[in-house]
């Protein structure tokens, strides 16, 4: 009986030593809450988040990211990167234009994945640590248009795998770059 208890304790310790660091630093589960990313993601979609990549590289425009909400860090949000550090983001009646060194005259983003535009008008220049994020469901998303740019310190990671619903199973779901 002592041998069985000893083996259970050893197994538990090994599992904790392997699973806990993996869960804390490499990947974690995330359940989409709400329809701000519709039609790309739906309420209840189950994702595994890659927490490691953004320690080695920065997100690209078009990438879907999971982050801590800056005004309540215990909450996690999922949005799409629209503006990169140092860029100017201009939105005119829902049309998004990016101005940067590569596109001094402006680059109008292809929003073909957006089913319903929001008639916003704003212009913001990002610092060298800020991103502009928006939900794909523009009329139903609380994002950088409402609460401002997202500082890189709040980034958690990107969806690595979508597990549920099974019909949408895939790797790097919702990701594309401009």
Q: What is the CA radius of gyration of the chain?
A: 19
Residue 47 lies in a domain: yes
Residue 129 lies in a domain: yes
Residue 62 zone, left/alpha/beta (φ > 0; ψ -120 to 50; rest): left
Residue 64's domain comprises: 27-160
Share of the chain above pLDDT 70, in %: 91
Q: Is 46 helix (H, G, I), strand (E, B) or coil?
A: strand
Residue 41 lies in a domain: yes
Task: Output the pLDDT for position 24.
Answer: 57
**In this predicted model, what pLDDT tens digit does every residue of 68-125 receive, in sequence order?**
999 999 999 999 999 999 999 999 988 899 999 999 999 898 877 787 777 788 999 9
Band (19; pLDDT cuts 50, 70, 90): low
Residue 175 lies in a domain: no
Select the more confidently predicted residue: 109 or 27. 109
Task: Output the pLDDT for position 5.
Answer: 85
Residue 171 lies in a domain: no
Q: Look at the pTM and tell me if it is higher than 0.85.
A: no
Residue 113 lies in a domain: yes
Residue 142 lies in a domain: yes
Extract the tokens encoding 149. Answer: 């740019």
Task: Output the pLDDT for position 176.
Answer: 67
Band (131; pLDDT cuts 50, 70, 90): very high
What stretches of the chain show up as alpha helix (H) in DSSP? 2-21, 144-147
Residue 168 lies in a domain: no
Write out the catalytic residue numbers: 36, 79
Domain count, the chain: 1
* Cβ pair 106, 148 in contact under 8 A: no
Residue 76 maps to which CATH number? 2.10.109.10
- Residue 141 burial class via C-beta count within 10 angstroms: exposed 0-12, middle 13-18, buried 19 and up: buried
Rounded to the nearest integer, the mean pLDDT of the chain is: 86
């Amino acid at each position: 009986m002592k041998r069985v208890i000893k083996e259970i304790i050893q197994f538990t310790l090994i599992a904790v030593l392997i699973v806990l660091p993996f869960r804390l630093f490499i990947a974690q589960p995330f359940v989409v809450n709400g329809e701000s990313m519709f039609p790309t993601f739906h309420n209840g979609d189950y994702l595994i988040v890659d927490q490691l990549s953004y320690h080695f590289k920065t997100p690209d425009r078009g990438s879907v990211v999971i982050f801590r909400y800056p005004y309540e860090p215990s909450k996690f949000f999922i949005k799409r990167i629209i503006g990169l550090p140092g860029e100017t983001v201009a939105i005119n009646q829902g049309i998004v234009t990016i101005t940067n060194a590569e596109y001094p005259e402006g680059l109008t983003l292809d929003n073909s994945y957006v089913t319903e535009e929001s008639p916003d008008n704003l212009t913001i220049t990002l610092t060298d640590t800020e991103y502009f994020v928006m939900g794909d469901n523009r009329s139903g998303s609380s994002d950088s248009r409402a609460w401002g740019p997202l500082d890189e310190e709040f980034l958690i990671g990107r969806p690595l795998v979508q597990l549920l619903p099974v019909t949408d199973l895939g790797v790097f779901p919702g990701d594309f770059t401009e």
